[in-house]
Structure 1
């Protein structure tokens, strides 16, 4: 039995929040004493099981939800709260999560077995056609590199893919690093239903409707394919209105169902012939792991090691396409709907939550 503490910004709608809660629940279910602390609960949407000790640190939203690279400092009262609720306890493992939770490392008296969990690319470098914008991007990247090094130097880091581990080692000089891919827990009943579930959509997208997800690529690929069925888009975000307008411009609005945010989209995924992902970058995407566990074929841009590592040689040739290639994406979607491929056991084992739990517990030793 191990005592484990997770600290995250909140329990909102993102994949990092969901995987943290699922991991915490799995650890608690296996007789570990798990505490989950959020910096501020005002954006919570996920419920915490009673088997997990839950703490709302009630930290100022400017600290809890502010930009990652903006300097943050706790008030005296907030430091007293940390001291009372966390520092007076002793844990076998402390994991500071995405992403302002990293700053609490400076306020913890426990130094042994404290790990910072990096879920995504914190040093994204964007390319612009405008020379002035590109110069500004170089300056921004240089400043953020320095802040990244300061935040993570001599720290223990968990990364969710090989790309992120390599970048952390290059820029931060961490004390130690380990890559642990996200695992998922899907009910056996749902997995058993998979082959017999009636399909309502040819293609489904699940995720936030934000620029980095490039959902417009999925819509365009669906539009130029020879598919005659419908596409479901599960999620919400700043890009929704633009995406709805795009479907009208392409004359396919009657074939695209915008279903909004749904906490558990597994049943909808089962009702789809394939799942599409066309992100500019992903850490270790929970949605893809869930699709593999459910047996739903994936068509995805090969845009990060976190995506590529989910596949085997046999499945990669069907599921991965060159990034930013909408025509290739369209062709792969069409081919997959007409002739769906299946995952081998190696793929399924890669996304198993029990395997992830074992890797996390090894950090306690």
Structure 2
């Protein structure tokens, strides 16, 4: 039995929080001693079961929230909280998300930093002033990234992020572990017999990096006659609703808001669409594979390629930002093979992911 501590900013609605909690619960259910600590639980959305020992460190919000490049230092009282937690003598400590990595100087033992997404993303803007600000932001992030992770153990969710980490800092060691999922056999068995209400479904946060406008435009251009479901919420929702009106498809696009378990809605859809500018290791994609849904996606990272096998035709990739090809692929939904091979299911199962984390615990 291993004793493992996960530390994350909070248990909000994001994918990093969701996969951290799922892994913690899975390991706890398999008789490992699992602790999960949040820096500050004010923005918690998810909650642990009694199987996981939960701690809200209640660190000040200037440490727990905000930009990663801002310097963060614990007060003496906060350091005492960390020392008390570490008295459990963990076999493995995982920091995740963004600000949790700033605890590195205060942690002892077998510590690994779990990088879920591109912390060094560089965005392009047509506005010159915004582009100058973006260069400044990138420089600050790059400098802090190098400082935070130098001589540290890093877990990345895809090969692109591992390569980037090795370029911008000097880690002690790196390992890539793709995200895994677990879906009940009963739900999987329902897939072939569930009536399809939507031609296309998008599942995720409605934020700029997800480029949901690309998904909507591709649906409009595909000439599919059915409806589209958008599951999620975020800062872009009003703009996206306005876009459906501009394209005269508002009566065929259902904004369903945030749903804790979107699997039933996914089963009622003929395919999943993903149009992100960048993805780490998308949990939604893995869930769609388990449910037997064809997937139409931008080839936005190695994380997408790594979650499937080259011979599985049910995953149709388009070059990044190529809305026209995404739409043309989408139009072929009626002739797409929905078969995924056994290797696909094996590599995306939560069991495979947990084994890799347990190996890290044994390396202490």
TM range (shorter): over 0.9
Deviations 1:169-216 (A, max 9, x none): 111100000000000011111011111111100000000000000000
Matched residue, 2:65: 65
Where 1:314 maps in the other structure, the secondary structure is coil
Question: Residue 139 of structure 1: CA displacement?
Answer: 3.5
5 Å matches for 1:279-318?
Answer: 279-315=276-312, 318=315
Taking the TM superposition and a 5 Å limit, the aligned residue runs for 1:74-93 are: 74-84=74-84, 86-93=85-92
Which residue in 2 is equivalent to 1:244?
241
CA contact (8 A) 2:314 2:338 kept: no
1:192 to 2:199 alignment: no
Alignment of 1:201-350 (within 5 A): 201-315=198-312, 318-350=315-347
The answer for the alignment partner of 2:44 in structure 1 is 44
Q: In structure 2, do the counterparts of structure 1 residues 179 and 316 end up closer, same or farther at CA, with 3 Å as the change threshold?
A: farther
Question: Is 1:11 the equivalent of 2:11?
Answer: yes
Q: How does 1:72-151 map to 2 (within 5 A)?
A: 72-84=72-84, 86-108=85-107, 110=108, 112-151=109-148
RMSD between aligned residues: 1.3
- The alpha-carbon deviation at position 337 of structure 1 amounts to 4.1
Return the offset for 1:69. 1.1
Cα distance in 2, alignment partners of residues 139 and 261 from structure 1: 34
> 2-side partners of 1:250 and 1:242: how far apart?
12
* Distance in 2, Cα, partners of 1:322 & 1:98: 28
Q: Name the TM-score, length of structure 1 as normaliser.
A: 0.96
Deviation at 1:6, TM superposition (A): 0.2
Q: What is the aligned length?
A: 362
Shift of 1:107: 1.4
CA offset at residue 77 of structure 1?
1.6
Residue pair 1:202, 1:337 contacting (<8 A) in 2 also: no
SS at 1:117 equivalent: strand
Cα contact 2:313–2:336 (8 A) shared by 1: no
Residue 171 (str. 1) matches residue 172 (str. 2): no
For structure 2, the 5+ residue unaligned runs are none
The unaligned stretches of length 5 or more in structure 1 are none
* Separation (CA, whole Å) in 1 of partners of 2:78 and 2:315: 51
Relative to structure 1, the CA distance from residue 254 to residue 18 in structure 2 (aligned partners, 3 Å threshold; closer, same or farther) is same
Are the aligned partners of 1:318 and 1:332 in contact in 2 as well (CA < 8 Å)?
Answer: no
TM-score by length of 2: 0.96
Distance in 2 of aligned mates of 1:145 and 1:355: 32
**Alpha-carbon distance, 1:137 to partner:** 2.9
Determine helix, strand or coil for the equivalent of 2:42: coil
